[in-house]
Structure 1
Amino acid sequence: MISYPHLTEDTYTIGVTAPSSGVPEELHPLLQQAEEKMKKNGKTMVFGQTAWTQDKARSASAVERSQEFNAMIRDDSVDVIIPPWGGELLIETLEYIQFEGLPSKWMLGYSDTSLLLLAITLKTGVATAHGTNLVDLRGEESDPTTSRWIDVLTTEKGGSVTQYSSDYYQKEWDFENPTPHIFHLTESTEWKTVTGTPVKVEGRLLGGCIDVVRHLVGTPFDKVEYFQQELIGSEPILWYFENCQLSTTDLRRTLTQMKLAGWFNRISGILFGRSPANHPVGNYEVLDVYQELADELDVPVIYDIDCGHVPPQLTLVNGAYAKVSVQSGAGTIIQTFKP
């Protein structure tokens, strides 16, 4: 069974720890702005030391990062954990994370953070939330897609929450000139299907940034089979992935490895987020990858959804039962917090 944390909308405390990258001193104003925004909205903030430090591609040593996370996730005064952002080397912490007896508490984030999110849900059955990171919540307001994170995290067990595709997405970052909602949403959003026809698909959500979650394959944290058989009663998995940096051939190798490892043995479909990467190799394009995957697995493949490093993004819950529909470039996802 899946355990869903629950956040009370009016009063909660946000814990900020950096299991991957912290924020270097010159960028501390980003964290301070996020803190000011949350406090203005009546929220309490608790910062770990790792949030404020960064050296050699990590906030601190693997032991220090994991110890801070282990303490914060078990701190009864903290209701939800939101790291500042992702990073590069979260995988170093996994062997030191105390998964046994992990309390049912929300953790929200994406990029490198998604590695820990997926590991938690696979090993413990505690639902985790793939969505915005903290520094992107520092604006005067929040765009209609990003802002739904709070609606998702306040959904009660057994309840459902509906999200829709965005109207516009951000093509390029302009860090020097943030808008009131941080992002520059200039490009028309279009969710697409490999077949080019409307698609409806449903299943248990699992996924994250494919650059990093792929490294769970073959490790003690590769519990996909256990998750499916023991925690969700052999229901089909609906995978979602977003690609940060991989070329098309690296993406193809990764998906093939996942297939060979049994991650796609019983699935209903795969969703891919918009990507700043997917760099073609020769004339091998990402659409070739999607088409080959759809043909091999005989499942729907939906792409360019609101997920990942090309904002804004939906809040997708690992473990939730989702119904996804795509028609005429628009998408709807209904997540039900089914045990």
Structure 2
Amino acid sequence: MSAEPATAVRYPAPLRPGDRIGVTAPSAGVPDRLWARVELTREFLEAKGFRVEIGECMHTPSHVSAPREKRAAELMRMLTDPAIRAVVPPWGGETGIDLLDLLDFAAIAAADPTWCVGYSDTTTWLTPLTLRTGIATIHGQNFMDTLYRTPDGVAHWTDVAASSPGSEITQRSPGSWRGAGFDDWVADPGASEYDLDQPGTWRRIDSEDADEPVTLHGRLVAGCVETVGFLAGGEYGNVTGFAEDFAPEGVIHVLDVAEWPAYDICRALHAMRLHGWFDRSTGILVSRTKALSSPDLSQDEAVLDALAMLGVPIISDVECGHVPPYLALVNGATTTVRFGAGENSITQTLT
């Protein structure tokens, strides 16, 4: 099969000083006690020369920021406004799935592409946006993470969004991660340093040799298992269709395991496999997670139970989940993953 895509992935224009960044919460809003961090992040981005528009759907009348019609309308406005060059939610949430059928993906595809950034529940609409339109998006980091300085080897989302089509972006495991919980943004709303207090890097879990080198190639598709798992097999989670249109070379899958215990993750991954999510997989990257294992089924074993039968390399403890630091990975980009022999890296080319 030809390695040329039937249709080219589209990359938004590079984010430049003077551009407007839209901030809206399609799922969970920000409580008043944390609003100081929103303002400090706005000031940080404005000091870099960006203009920041804080939307109306940003607060917490309930577990979501506003009724689904209002959230969908604000997101659609920002995605199709040519003056807004990036849309960055504060974070994820729980039930962003409720607005999918209100989004006009044809209108989004017809507009100038806009960088969208996020992970967790944000991937409930961000990943379908890439799958359905072929517009690249950024998985990892979000508005409330923006103040944090990224460690050596990890790109900040603003730098990735500043990349031009054709650019090459290489990120590497920093070899350490944060074992402690979240910072107290009430006491210190300007927290900007990750305390990466635990050593550790990627592991290969599909091989008896956890360090066995391997190189993966394909276009990257990322998502949070607890949210995109519900989309597999439907019109919003058609990875096979994306591969046919945009990625005949195959797909590198990135799985963010946020919080579900091992049994739940095992069931979800089996369901995703049965619905064709992994049919074009050339390899799988699984996030480092603090989610619970069970006495007779670890998180590694849950992944292997569902996905080892695919016969592709599976690399775990990648910085692509809810444990800091977070790689800023481009959904849809041509991707090469190098593991082992002293190099754990992801190189993406915006082609």
TM-score range, shorter chain: over 0.9
Partner of 2:90: 84
Q: 1:160 to 1:174 in 2, by over 3 A?
A: closer
Partner of 2:327: 314
Per-residue deviation, 1:75: 1.6
TM-score (norm 2): 0.90
Q: Structure 1 vs Structure 2: percent identity of aligned residues?
A: 32
CA distance in 1, matches of 2:30, 2:153: 25
Per-residue deviation, 1:144: 3.7
1:20 aligns with 2:27: yes
Tell me, which stretches of 5 or more residues in structure 2 are unaligned?
A: 1-7
Tell me, which stretches of 5 or more residues in structure 1 are unaligned?
A: none
CA distance in 2, matches of 1:174, 1:314: 17
2:230 aligns to what SS in structure 1?
helix
2:29 aligns to what SS in structure 1?
coil
Q: Is the 8 A contact 2:289 2:321 kept in 1?
A: yes
Partner of 1:149: 157
CA distance in 2, matches of 1:69, 1:243: 26
Per-residue deviation, 1:294: 5.2
Q: 1:258 to 1:285 in 2, by over 3 A?
A: same
Q: Which moved more, 1:213-222 or 1:265-274?
A: 213-222
Partner of 1:271: 285
Q: Is the 8 A contact 2:150 2:156 kept in 1?
A: no
Q: 1:94 to 1:145 in 2, by over 3 A?
A: farther
Which residue of 58, 63, 74 maps to 1:57?
63
Deviations 1:69-111 (A, max 9, x none): 1111112221101111110111001011111131311000111
Partner of 2:117: 108
Count of residues paired in the alignment:
334
1:101 aligns to what SS in structure 2?
helix
Q: 1:174 to 1:72 in 2, by over 3 A?
A: closer
Partner of 2:5: none
1:135 aligns to what SS in structure 2?
helix
TM-score (norm 1): 0.93
CA distance in 2, matches of 1:212, 1:253: 13
What is the identity, as a one-letter code, of the residue corresponding to 1:322?
A: T
Per-residue deviation, 1:286: 1.7
1:171 aligns to what SS in structure 2?
coil
Partner of 2:4: none
1:173 aligns to what SS in structure 2?
coil
Q: 1:287 to 1:223 in 2, by over 3 A?
A: closer
Per-residue deviation, 1:280: 2.0
Partner of 1:39: 46
CA distance in 1, matches of 2:155, 2:339: 22
Which residue of 58, 61, 77 maps to 1:71?
77
2:160 aligns to what SS in structure 1?
helix
Q: Is the 8 A contact 2:154 2:174 kept in 1?
A: no
Q: Is the 8 A contact 1:191 1:330 kept in 2?
A: no
Task: Give runs of ≥4 in structure 1 deviating > 4 Å.
Answer: 177-180
Q: How does 1:165-204 map to 2 (within 5 A)?
A: 165-176=173-184, 181-194=192-205, 195=207, 196=210, 197-204=212-219
Q: How does 1:290-309 map to 2 (within 5 A)?
A: 290-293=303-306, 295-309=308-322
CA distance in 2, matches of 1:38, 1:151: 12
Q: 1:89 to 1:180 in 2, by over 3 A?
A: closer
Deviations 1:31-63 (A, max 9, x none): 011111112222210110112x11221001110
CA distance in 1, matches of 2:263, 2:145: 31
1:158 aligns with 2:166: yes
